[in-house]
Amino acid sequence: MRALGIGLIGTGYMGKCHALAWNAVAPVFGDVARPRLAMLCEVDDALAARRAREFGFAGSTADWRALVAHPEVDIVSITTPNAFHAEMAIAALEAGKHVWCEKPMATSLADAQAMLTAARAAGKVAALGYNYIQNPAIRLAARLIGEGAIGSVNHVRVEMDEDFMADAEAPFSWKSAAQSGHGALDDFGVHAFSLLKVLVGEVAQVMADMGKPYPTRPLQEGGARPVETHDIATILLRFASGASGLVALNRSAWGRKGRIFVQVFGAKGTISFDQERMNEIELYTAEGRSDLQGFRRILTAPVHEPYDRFIPAPGHGLGFNELKIIECRELMRTIAGEPAHLIDFETGLRIERTVDAAARSFREGRWTEV
Ligand code: NAD
């Protein structure tokens, strides 16, 4: 495979995560050409130049359109706040570049649809940052469910909680502005829906409630601004398969640091996973001696691909950033025309439809079709 040229827009939390992935994907996987880190973009020239030095990019700019147009850029990593995703992704696709865009896909269903239209017209790979589905533990859970280890799935719950917005005195940020979307529903909900997609299947109907724990947040410059998004969302689900479910989301949940607690209940057993203990799953199967029944804790190990690419020893564990390296490899696989495990804009739009249906359900106070 020819070395692909990378353009990275944004260098915050996710920008650094993408940069680490682009730096690590070749040494970790050993079967891809090392990408050329061509150009990086930040909001001003000085920051862009500093980050380019730190992250190993050859060039830098404060103009994302210049990055997108740059002849040495083949793939554009978009890691800017949500409100920029649609405009940047569409411009990159129109310039003939592959796109790796952070979640949520967009802040409106119309924008997400326009992104998919642009991807289809360009014929380029367009993928989204749904790293949690890449966890070898989640892949194991999906395989076990597919093999019937817990029988037919009848109910599922996903609880996603963090406390980075739990402090009522935390200053107003882009996450509280309406331009970023609905709030926890698209900030967290899309991750939950990506996991449900690979573990259970299509969501057919939703019924949602949302909450705003703090109506205003302080501004850095003094005073306060009304909060325009909902930091809490609860969504009842009905799946196409007939199973029922619940997704509960809270960005203001004191004490929860990175919880994504998934429970999949079937006719013959249960599987559970928690992102705060991301290197294990628990499996309960209703079989064997009744006095010895209980959940079995399974630690991930080299046998759970692609764990083996990182560490030869079982139970030593992968971290969050490593999920991004796996996602990066899946993106390169897709570009090379190989089968890959990735959420592209087609599947991403289905997730956005679920978000949109949940938002409508909350507004209208009734069950809504996806
Ligand atoms: P952040 O605020 O830490 O970083 C955003 C960066 O984009 C900043 O460095 C900012 O200066 C830069 N930026 C803003 N406007 C720009 C522009 N016009 N040109 C160039 N750079 C610009 O935000 P974050 O937490 O990294 O979130 C970014 C995106 O990643 C969001 O869409 C978020 O939903 C997503 N995210 C995904 C995950 C995941 O697990 N996949 C986790 C966190 C965030």
pLDDT category at 217 given cuts 50, 70, 90 is very high
Which of 8, 9, 11, 14, when mutated, tests ligand 1's pocket best, judged by the most ligand atoms within 8 Å of its CB? 14
State the residue for tokens 């495979």. 1
Cβ-in-10-Å burial (0-12, 13-18, 19+) of 2 comes to exposed
Domains of the chain: 5-132 (3.40.50.720), 133-369 (3.30.360.10)
Q: Which of 8, 120, 132, 146 is nearest to 64 (CA)?
A: 8
Pocket of ligand 1 (CB under 6 A): 9-15, 41-43, 64, 79-82, 84, 102-103, 129, 131, 187
**Angle CA(20)–CA(351)–CA(185) in degrees, nearest 5?**
85
State the residue for tokens 């959420």. 343
Contacts of 107 (CB under 8 A, 6+ apart): 82, 83, 85, 86, 179, 180, 181, 186
Q: Does position 216 have pLDDT exceeding 90, yes or no?
A: yes
User: What number of other Cβ atoms are within 10 A of residue 80's Cβ?
Assistant: 23
pLDDT of residue 34: 95
Q: Which of 261, 265, 263, 254 is nearest to 275 (CA)?
A: 261
Cα 288 from Cα 154, distance rounded (Å): 22
Cα 106 from Cα 368, distance rounded (Å): 21
Record the pTM: 0.97
Measured in Å, residue 281 CA sits from the centre of ligand 1 at 30
Helices (H), 132-187: 136-146, 184-187
Which of 80, 259, 355, when mutated, tests ligand 1's pocket best, judged by the most ligand atoms within 8 Å of its CB? 80
Q: Does position 66 have pLDDT exceeding 90, yes or no?
A: yes
pLDDT in tens, 344-363: 999 999 999 999 999 999 99
Distances (CA, A) of 88 to 99, 176, 330, 346, 348: 9, 21, 22, 18, 16
pLDDT in tens, 310-346: 999 999 999 999 999 999 999 999 999 999 999 999 9
Helix (H, G, I), strand (E, B) or coil at 265: strand
Q: Does position 204 have pLDDT exceeding 70, yes or no?
A: yes
Region 9-36: mean pLDDT is 97
Q: Does position 2 have pLDDT exceeding 90, yes or no?
A: no
